[in-house]
Amino acid sequence: MNMLNIWPFLLLFLQYTTALSYEEALRIASKKDGLLYVNGKSYEKLIKNENYSFVIFLTAEDARVGCTLCHDFGPKYKAIAKQYFENLNDPQSGMYNPIDSDNDKSRVIFGFSDYMSAQTYFEKLGMTSVPKLLYYEPGKAPQLADFTNEFSFLTVENTDSYTRWLAQNIPGLDPKFLEVQIPVSKSKLYTSIAIGIASLALLFKFRSSIFKVVQQKTVWEVFSLSLIILLFPAICSIKLETQKLVEKIRRVMLYILPKDSTCSLVQKPRSYRSFIQS
């Protein structure tokens, strides 16, 4: 066989058998907002983290899976990865650049993998549930299920919980460089829009019936009575508190005024009281 014919296959073989360097991983991630997207075809090459830490978010965004937490956490994770990558490439950010560091753990690449496009990878990992957020030390990602650490979604309350988790695993990483304005979940946004449109459609469809109900005298009588019952305790409470405040002001003014002062100012609390009582 001609050597020219086997040369492309040889290059492809070397590409998938050699480890992925940090510089190469950064180059690939730079095209995808700082994320390394791992699918069923590329996972064998992309997870070979030779000299850097590897954090990967395993999810299933397909509606048929019905993973609410995946949709809630996915945008947050992507935003954090993008923010880290931007700070890494911004000399003015003040973030420690680990490219030339002797500690391989201080270098990190953020990965993302969806079940629908990486079923083979998920099977190799032995994952039967999502979402998962895994951390691999340098050189450990090819061991698949033998990950170094896993984030617990059972205790997640806010963004700080997993930024702290990342900082604990990656030396030299300050959580402040992962602070971002978390985008609104698209699923929640679409749901809110759908509910709003459906509500407007129902109001328009039954507008004649609604107008008839609104124009009834009984409806307004019930509404007025309910409003009075709800507001009466608050009005009484405000009046009592105001009277107490007037008494306090009167006592203070009597105390601080000298004996030969005119009583015009002292009489002001009386005018306040008479105004309230009226």
pLDDT at residue 265 above 70? no
Is position 92 within any domain?
yes
167 and 227 together in one domain: no
Is position 72 within any domain?
yes
Is position 199 within any domain?
no
Domain range for 45 is: 11-183
**Number of structural domains found in the chain:** 2
Mean pLDDT of the chain: 78
Lowest mean pLDDT among 142-151, 166-175, 204-213, 241-250: 241-250
Choose the final residue of a domain: 136, 166, 183: 183
172 and 60 together in one domain: yes
Cα–Cα distance for residue pair 242/247, rounded to 1 Å: 9
20-32: average pLDDT: 89
Cα–Cα distance for residue pair 163/175, rounded to 1 Å: 6
Choose the final residue of a domain: 137, 165, 183: 183
129 and 266 together in one domain: no
Q: For residue 25, what are the contacts with CB-CB under 8 A and spacing of at least 6?
A: 36, 46, 49, 52, 109
142 and 247 together in one domain: no
119 and 249 together in one domain: no
Is position 205 within any domain?
no
Q: Which long-range contacts (CB under 8 A, 24 or more apart) does 62-66 make?
A: 62/114, 62/115, 62/116, 65/115, 65/130
Is position 202 within any domain?
no
Choose the final residue of a domain: 138, 165, 183: 183
CATH number of the structural domain spanning residue 84: 3.40.30.10
Q: Looking at residue 2, what is its pLDDT?
A: 52
For residue 113, name the pLDDT band (cuts at 50, 70, 90).
Answer: very high
73-82: average pLDDT: 91
116 and 236 together in one domain: no
Q: Looking at residue 10, what is its pLDDT?
A: 42
Is position 43 within any domain?
yes
